[in-house]
Homo-oligomer: A and B are copies of this chain.
Amino acid sequence: MLAGIGLMPHGNPVLDPPDKETRKLAEVLKNIGKAFADVDAYVLISPHNVRMSEHLGVVMAENLISWLGFDGVELPGEWRTDRELAEEIYERARKEGFPVVDLHFASRSGEYSRWPLTWGELIPLQFLEKKPLVLLTPARNLSRETLIKFGETLGEVLEESDKSAALIVSADHGHAHDENGPYGYRRESGEYDRLIMELINEDRLEELLKIPDELIRKALPDSYWQMLIMLGVMHRVEVELKGSAYACPTYFGMAGALWVRE
């Protein structure tokens, strides 16, 4: 059964908030951690782990190991995969014809069955109790419809499971907010981020489907594709928004939102 959904950023500033907005954002992230402190597992979708253009990934490797921090911020730690839940998700998605791959590494089981984690997973995990994980990866070249339908299937598997699970969507938004940042300044980053926060706060996430490709392309988010999967999950489970926040202390926009099942 799905306990709820957390949309969480993966930027270093939430670890040591430099300003009031980022502190408010970090509070929402802590509330996500509290809301889901008793679940059996997290299903974590990350855009900064394996990136396949046309295939969704389900990590099966048993041991998930910190490997790659951003900008020198290392966050050591090890987590375990909920292999049973991972297999349920993979098998259902495969049977339903989604372009999905099972991701083992080195060995199929045991101590050498390992998988590397990056800041994309490690930063959200700093706010969450240590639980077994199912790590999923989105794909940018799949159609919007496929991503939503995969989310619907994911929602069905989670609802049918005996386990209580929370869906954690790791995502940052526009990356061109600062003319001195690595992607320069583009007004579309602000436009995209304002729109995303409106859709979240006004319960209008169906309108994700109306966002033009051009705006997404220019805004440089790493949120859109996994948010479509999240929308699909929401088609299968009624959830209620309990809190949200946005901050942009550097060049990229960060959002947090907590939904719990109604």
Contacts and interface: CB of A to CB of B under 8 A. Distances in A.
Contacts of A114: 68
Interface residues of A, number: 24
Contact of A105 (B49, B54, B104): B49
A185 interface: no
Contacts of A102: 52-54
A112 B51 contact: no
A55 B101 contact: yes
A112 B70 contact: yes
A108 interface: yes
Contacts of A17: none
A1 interface: no
A218 interface: no
Contact of A51 (B52, B54, B68, B104): B104
A48 B106 contact: yes
A107 interface: yes
Nearest to A53: B102
A50 interface: yes
A183 interface: no
A-B pairs, top 7 by smallest CB distance, nearest first, are A51-B104, A52-B101, A106-B118, A55-B101, A48-B106, A116-B116, A53-B102
Interface of A: 48-55, 67-68, 70, 101-108, 112, 114, 116, 118, 120
